[in-house]
Amino acid sequence: MFSVQGVLIAFLLHASAASADGNTPPGFPNMTACSGSIDPAVGCVTIPIVSDSCLDLIGGFSGLNHEISWVQVPNDYACTYFQNFGCLAVEEEDHTTLTSGTWNMFDVPTVSGTQNFNDLTSSLNCVFGHGCDVGCLNVLLED
């Protein structure tokens, strides 16, 4: 049987190694997604981020499926929001990528301009190390 100290040491060593590669931030970052307003907070949920991992809005997050109106993306991250589960985009309009900051999903940037992505998100994927301003957003969207 594992001891509590052994499990804790293994966890800390894993977290330390993950942070040392320069591609994963130290700590456990979160993003915020709201079904209503972000200020004042209405229907907001804190979502832990696992960099470059798809999160379907099911289970504990099913209340946000097709309900997200506002998001707050942490510094140095870019998050892509998808209309479909599995982080799949069939058409250009099926997803949007947002960088660090607070975003109203009614008016988000895409490769071809802006679009209303309110209440469309079913899955999302955030990547560390891609935080940038809107000027570099088109590069991210084309990837």
Whole-angstrom distance, CA of residue 92 vs CA of residue 27? 33
What pTM was computed for the model? 0.74
Q: How far apart are CA 32 and CA 46, in angstroms?
A: 5
Q: What pLDDT sits at residue 117?
A: 97
Q: What is the pLDDT at residue 130? A: 67
Domains delineated in the chain: 28-142 (2.60.20.10)
pLDDT, residue 111, reads 77
pLDDT at 12 over 70: no
Alpha-carbon span 115 to 109, nearest angstrom: 7
- Kindly list the distances between the CA atom of residue 30 and the CA atoms of 26, 33, 48, 127, in Å, as whole numbers in the listed order: 12, 10, 4, 12
Cβ-based neighbours of 116, under 8 Å, separated by 6 or more: 105, 106, 107, 108
What percentage of the chain carries pLDDT values higher than 90?
63
Mean pLDDT in residue range 2-24: 36
Q: What pLDDT is stored for residue 132 in this prediction? A: 53
Torsion from C-alpha of 57, 66, 78, 17, nearest 10 degrees: -10
Whole-number pLDDT of residue 4: 32
- The model's confidence at residue 26, banded by pLDDT at 50, 70 and 90, is low
70 forms bridges with which residues in the sheet? Answer: 34, 104
* Strand, coil or helix: 131: coil
Least Cα distance to 97 among 58, 64, 143 occurs for: 143
pLDDT over threshold 70, residue 109: yes
Per-residue pLDDT tens digits for 62-104: 999 999 999 999 999 999 999 999 999 999 889 999 999 999 9
Residue 129's pLDDT is 86
The answer to whether the peptide bond before residue 40 is cis (omega within 30 degrees of 0) is yes
